[in-house]
């Protein structure tokens, strides 16, 4: 989640520049990276022929793999549609409704390096907004600055109070926090800027790593509850503090109204989340009053979703994390699966191809049982870290 410089795209060189003196061209050549200069000097006909032979081998191997993988992931998609249809009609989902083979993984030759220099225009990266951007947007659009906690433990105590009152357990809150932040994360920690990281990799912030889209969606769907809870706090406060809270409540109401102004779908909320309006809403995650409520509802919506679907047993923290990571519908698919099926069903059944192939954890721990087990193991380990112990103490 964060700023990466936009790289300049390549531009065409005017014809007049091609008429410059040889000395200028020599200077330009000297400025080329050593690898490119060496390639230009050393690319013999034999090297080029060998490259083309290896390239053909690679392309043939890759085409064969893509055909096999395409068929596999089409089957995954069809099975998913079948399961969804059966659930809608109240039918029992069985082992036959899953693909039980693991997906093919490419093991052929790597793409060879071209000995001749290639001009490959670099696609500009869209910068990822960071906390400073969220704060700036909130100030510019709402004349609002989130009230930051005086200390980390103040935020943790506010989170613990609201989470317990709303129906989350200490185990669920602490273990999910341990998994999401490594047991050390602060209320304003952003994905990528942690444990020495320098560059944000997404807009995910805080104990349960809310994305901008999550914030917009929670304001749209849980806004009435957020407004009710903050209104109660206003009623119990007096003096200057009350004026501050009243302003915050007015801002919250405006944000909720905007979030509700579009259809209640992830894609529509994502569109807002990718704008300054969404960034401003996301700044509420940092507020000591509203932030704990947003963090709570990120998990509570999954608990309530499972309950509404008839799943009455309390979710373990690992099960709740599966819903937190993959979405409620997909996560519940794993959660409601008997242990015997968990041992047999590959994790690929719950991913799109691209997401699976970029997820080494799901590939390595390739059944539902193994994925839940490694999640539990990581929670066990990280729960011993200082931040997790502090959060547990706040409950």
Q: What is the pLDDT of residues 307-361, one digit of tens each?
A: 998 888 899 999 999 998 888 888 889 998 999 999 999 999 999 898 898 889 8
Q: Evaluate whether 327 touches 302 at the Cβ level (below 8 Å).
A: no
Asked if 280 and 229 sit in the same domain, the reply is yes
Q: What's the pLDDT at 38?
A: 52
Asked if 51 and 108 sit in the same domain, the reply is yes
Query: What pTM was estimated for this model as a whole?
Result: 0.80
- 29 in a structural domain: yes
Q: Evaluate whether 306 touches 335 at the Cβ level (below 8 Å).
A: yes
> Where is the domain boundary, 61, 82, 115?
115
Query: Residue 210: which of 117, 313, 75, 301 has the closest Cα?
Result: 301
Asked if 109 and 168 sit in the same domain, the reply is no
Q: Evaluate whether 215 touches 247 at the Cβ level (below 8 Å).
A: no
Asked if 229 and 187 sit in the same domain, the reply is yes
> Where is the domain boundary, 56, 80, 115?
115
Asked if 43 and 141 sit in the same domain, the reply is no
Asked if 180 and 108 sit in the same domain, the reply is no
Mean pLDDT of 15-31: 38
- 146 in a structural domain: yes
Q: Report d(CA 389, CA 384) in Å as an integer.
A: 6
CATH number for the domain that contains residue 277: 1.10.530.10
Q: What's the pLDDT at 194?
A: 76
Query: Residue 255: which of 272, 237, 235, 274 has the closest Cα?
Result: 272
- Domain containing residue 81: 22-115
Query: Residue 287: which of 188, 163, 185, 219 has the closest Cα?
Result: 188
List the structure tokens of 123: 């696609």
The residue that leads in pLDDT, 12 or 2, is 2
Asked if 186 and 298 sit in the same domain, the reply is yes
- 5 in a structural domain: no
Q: What is the pLDDT of residues 64-92, one digit of tens each?
A: 999 999 999 999 999 999 998 998 888 99
CB atoms within 10 A of CB 351: 20
List the structure tokens of 2: 């964060």
Asked if 109 and 139 sit in the same domain, the reply is no
- 241 in a structural domain: yes
- 263 in a structural domain: yes
Asked if 216 and 87 sit in the same domain, the reply is no
Asked if 110 and 135 sit in the same domain, the reply is no
- 137 in a structural domain: yes
Q: How many helices (H) and strands (E) does the chain have?
A: 18, 0
pLDDT surpasses 90 at 121:
no
Asked if 245 and 153 sit in the same domain, the reply is yes
Domain count, the chain: 2
pLDDT surpasses 70 at 297:
yes
> Where is the domain boundary, 115, 143, 175?
115
Asked if 140 and 72 sit in the same domain, the reply is no
Give me the helices (H) in 89-130, please: none
- 174 in a structural domain: yes
196 φ, ψ (degrees, to nearest 5): 90, -5
- 332 in a structural domain: yes
């Amino acid at each position: 989640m964060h700023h990466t410089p936009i790289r300049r795209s390549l531009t065409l060189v005017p014809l007049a520049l091609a008429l410059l003196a040889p000395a200028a061209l020599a200077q330009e050549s000297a400025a080329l990276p050593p690898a490119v200069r060496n390639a230009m000097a050393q690319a013999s006909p034999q090297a080029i022929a060998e490259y083309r032979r290896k390239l053909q081998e690679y392309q043939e191997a890759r085409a064969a793999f893509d055909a096999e993988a395409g068929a596999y992931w089409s089957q995954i998609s069809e099975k998913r549609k079948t399961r969804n249809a059966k659930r809608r009609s109240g039918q029992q989902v069985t082992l036959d409704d899953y693909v039980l083979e693991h997906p093919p993984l490419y093991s052929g030759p790597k793409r060879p390096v071209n000995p001749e220099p290639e001009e490959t225009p670099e696609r500009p990266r869209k910068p990822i907004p960071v906390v400073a951007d969220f704060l700036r947007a909130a100030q510019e659009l709402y004349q609002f600055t989130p009230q930051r906690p005086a200390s980390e433990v103040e935020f943790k105590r506010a989170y613990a109070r609201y989470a317990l009152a709303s129906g989350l357990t200490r185990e669920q809150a602490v273990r999910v926090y341990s998994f999401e932040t490594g047991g050390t994360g602060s209320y304003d920690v952003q994905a990528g800027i942690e444990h020495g990281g320098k560059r944000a990799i997404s807009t995910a912030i805080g104990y349960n790593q809310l994305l901008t889209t999550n914030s917009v969606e929670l304001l749209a769907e849980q806004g009435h509850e957020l407004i009710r809870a903050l209104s109660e706090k206003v009623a119990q406060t007096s003096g200057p503090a009350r004026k501050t809270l009243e302003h915050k409540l007015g801002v919250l109401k405006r944000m909720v109204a905007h979030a509700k102004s579009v259809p209640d779908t992830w894609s529509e909320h994502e569109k807002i989340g990718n704008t300054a309006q969404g960034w401003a809403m996301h700044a509420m995650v940092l507020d000591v009053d509203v932030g704990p409520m947003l963090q709570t509802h990120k998990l509570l919506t999954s608990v309530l979703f499972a309950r509404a679907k008839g799943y009455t047993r309390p979710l373990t923290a690992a099960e709740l994390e599966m819903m937190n990571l993959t979405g409620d519908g997909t996560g519940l698919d794993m959660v409601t699966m008997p242990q015997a099926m968990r041992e047999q069903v590959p994790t690929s059944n719950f991913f799109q191809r691209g997401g699976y192939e970029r997820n080494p954890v799901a590939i390595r721990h390739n059944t539902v049982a193994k994925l839940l087990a490694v999640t539990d193991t990581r929670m066990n380990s990280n729960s011993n870290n200082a931040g997790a112990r502090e959060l547990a103490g706040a409950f």
